[in-house]
Structure formats: C-alpha cells, structure tokens
Structure 1
Amino acid sequence: MQVKINGKEIELKFGVKFTRELDKIAGLDVQGASFGMGLTKTIPALNTADPAALSDVIYAATSTVLSFRPSQDDVDDFIDGYEGDLEKLFDDVIAEMGKANAIKVALKNAQA
C-alpha cells in the first residue's frame, strides 16, 4: 500500500519491523520495562476510527523507508488534510495489515 505524504509516494509495510516500531510508539511500558502490546492496543482503536491510532500505524509502517521517512507530524498533517474518504483509508490500512503474514493472526484474533 502506498500513501502520498509531502508530495512523495511512500510504501507502507506491515511486517515485523512495523510491529517493533508500533511497540515503541504505542506499546505498554511499565516503570521503564517494555511489554510490547502495540498491536493489541492499536487494533481496537483502528476499528473505532481513532485518527491517532491511524497516524501511529502509518508512521510505524514507514519504518523501512530509507530515502525519506516522514515524521509523526508529517503523518498527522497527512491525516488532517486527507481529501479522500477517511473511512476508506481506515478500511484500506486494516485490509493491508490483514495481508501481512507477520500480523494477520493478531489482527484476526483482535477482531474475533
């Protein structure tokens, strides 16, 4: 899946690197100890159309971009200024996540 942020087409990848990055952004941290759980916390938020969760997912999915990785603010601005159907963007992101071997089981279990 590709999105256009700051005039640049960016490929979103939902693999293990995405999961690790999402854990850093939205994971559970207790007294300095990281417990992951980024997917577990984020999937329900995506399903309720939480724009902050969508921003976190898109930002984490850019973790493999080498030439130009947008900042979290860039992604927030992308969502704030999105001219298409925002509900469809949520659906498209969730559908792409469901295709990724590394996370499709977690996504399926969270939606059960």
Structure 2
Amino acid sequence: MKLTINGKEYTLHFGMDFIDEVEKLEGMKMEAEGVSLNMGTGGMALLNNKLASYHPSGLRTIIKAGTSTERQKPSNDDINAYLEELANSDDYEQTFDEIVEELGKKPLVLRALNAKAE
C-alpha cells in the first residue's frame, strides 16, 4: 500500500518488521526504579482498538511501523500534517478502511491483530 505524505510516496510494508515496530511503539511498558522496559506485547491489540474507532494515533502508528524498514521515512511533522489534512477531508474513514483491508491480507498481521489472551 502506498501513501503520499508531503508530496512523497511511501510504501507501507505489513510483515514481521511491522508487527515488531507496532509492539515497540504501542506495547505495554513497565517502569521500576527509574528503568523503563517495553514488554513487547499488547501493541497490536491496542492498534486493533484504535483502528476500530478511527483513532488518528492508530494511523500514525501504522505509518511509522509500515515505513520502519524503508530507507526514507516520513518525519513526525510530515505524518502529523498528513493526518491533519486527512482529518479535514472526506477520505479520512475511507483511508482507515483501505488500510484495514490491506492488513487483513497479511496472515501474520491478521493473527497478531486478533490474538487472544490465554
């Protein structure tokens, strides 16, 4: 899937690197005695909830994680400007729906999004 952000086209990749990056960005964190530890879990479930509610930070996470393996990545400012522009258009929910559709085509991502706690 491709998105045009600040006039540049970026390809979003949805594989294991995407999953790992989502867990890094959104996963549960634990802090003790001033040391923070990313637990590496729970991020995909949180992302799933954000996608279901069309939450803009979910789309930001997808862009950041989807471009994590790219040589050229969009800056945080460019991503935020893109989200603002998208929110002011009629394409906001449609963009989410298209992304969810693309994610659903990737078996590993689909399993991670729908993982059940034991």
Matched position secondary structure for 1:102: helix
Q: Which residue of 2 aligns with 1:85?
A: 91
Q: Decide which of 70, 73, 76 is 2:74's aligned counterpart.
A: 70
User: With structure 1 as the length reference, what TM-score do the two structures score?
Assistant: 0.87
| Counterparts in 2 of 1:24 and 1:106: CA distance versus 1, 3 Å | closer
Q: Which residue of 1 aligns with 2:4?
A: 4
Report if the CA contact (8 A) 2:23-2:43 is conserved. Answer: yes
Report if the CA contact (8 A) 2:67-2:73 is conserved. Answer: yes
Give the count of matched residue pairs.
109
2:63 equivalent to 1:58? yes
Deviation at 1:101, TM superposition (A): 2.6
Q: Which residue of 1 aligns with 2:110?
A: 104
- Supply the distance in 2 between the matched residues of 1:29 and 1:109 (Cα, whole angstroms): 19
- Supply the distance in 2 between the matched residues of 1:75 and 1:100 (Cα, whole angstroms): 24
Q: Which residue of 1 aligns with 2:15?
A: 15
- Supply the distance in 2 between the matched residues of 1:84 and 1:105 (Cα, whole angstroms): 30
Report if the CA contact (8 A) 2:19-2:112 is conserved. Answer: no
% identity of equivalent residues: 33
Deviation at 1:86, TM superposition (A): 0.5
Q: Deviations over 1:81-105 (max 9, x none)?
A: 1245100001011111111132112
Q: Deviations over 1:61-86 (max 9, x none)?
A: 111111x2112221121111124510
Larger Rg: 2
Matched position secondary structure for 2:107: coil
Report if the CA contact (8 A) 1:98-1:108 is conserved. Answer: no
User: With structure 2 as the length reference, what TM-score do the two structures score?
Assistant: 0.83
Structure 2 unaligned blocks of 5 or more: none
Matched position secondary structure for 2:57: helix
- Supply the distance in 2 between the matched residues of 1:80 and 1:13 (Cα, whole angstroms): 23
Runs of 4+ in 1 over 2 A off after TM superposition: 106-110
Opposite residue 14 of structure 1, the aligned amino acid is F
